Structure 1
């Protein structure tokens, strides 16, 4: 926990907090979700998932599965208090239905009320191949719950104070990225790519077929002279330095101009 405290306000905080909690008990799928009262869609703040697990527990959740999540429903209705809440697969048939097909047999959630609008859920799940949280482990988690909830609140407050201008700058850069080269629809697709959306979820969000989305993505790759989504991410990150110098134009203008100048040196 001392390491988690030292990481308050930094990008390492959630990882350090999960490491502290998992030092004495196994955790398979740790996640942190943010729920905002006036925004129905939750936002994933932290997770350690990849492949099929990420698609199921993050992408499908954001795409709409969250509406069946018992913890989401209770929190949304004001029936889930701050502190530790526990769910077990065999304990309630209504809740078990939500977890059908998911590799989850047991889950505990630390709920932190950041302000009147915002809640954070630190979710600790166990896979079906493992064991349920024992009574002793649940007692241990309840004992540290006040500290965990307070740490979640403090971190969210520190991040909110420290990074509003950075977050606004990144959002602006995403909105302008590719403006000088791409069509409006291609920029819509590019923005969802930068947001980490999988193909079918991006297509659903834009109301187009997956084949149409793939065609737009192919055109984007050609125009940006890249061959993969990871290269798009790298190009965006590398171009941010040029955005600082000219914050009201496509950062690629300055980046490609700088690259061209370097070729002639």
Structure 2
């Protein structure tokens, strides 16, 4: 049974590429009115065109509270409530212990932790009772990766948010779940290897070797999991971490 989001309002942060873009496309195809965010206007415009349907792009950096306010102001101009929120905006870069700068720490935590926290908190007045919130965590939260400790710590925090927020929001019957992708072929992943195409392919090949299915994931595969968690089909699923990783975190 396909998820039906007709007459539903959905917000997807970090919706201009990768998992966010694929998920926004899937929500729009399922009939939702979708709001996406992105930091660069050119990328935001391109994403809105690619998504089609009832989609609105709001430029903003989710680590900045004023930008989050502007997002929800844009939603309120068109709708009275939000049915589903996918707090997805995030990112990271390599830095081994001994070379971690204060800037690296602050940027990663501001984007992945502060941004997620206030994206959800500031949505509360608009979230309808019974709404669904999905957070993007990562298999990195429970597996060790050299030179990736700061990013991994932020994703562990995100997973903890889901476990605690479902209790804070239980009286409103708002479900909060986390999706934890494994390696997914996105611009954000391949750019960790730098600009060289051969190095990027080498990273993908290495990551594929860590996955029992023998390949990296595709953004639309994560999108399907997010739509499930956000849908009525997951009405009795709350506070979980859903791994979409080809089995990587299970071995």
Shared fold per TM-score greater than 0.5: no
TM normalised by structure 2 equals 0.33
Q: Which structure is richer in relative contact order (CA contacts within 8 A, separation 6 or more)? A: 2
Rg (Cα) greater in structure = 1
Whose helix proportion is higher, 1 or 2?
1
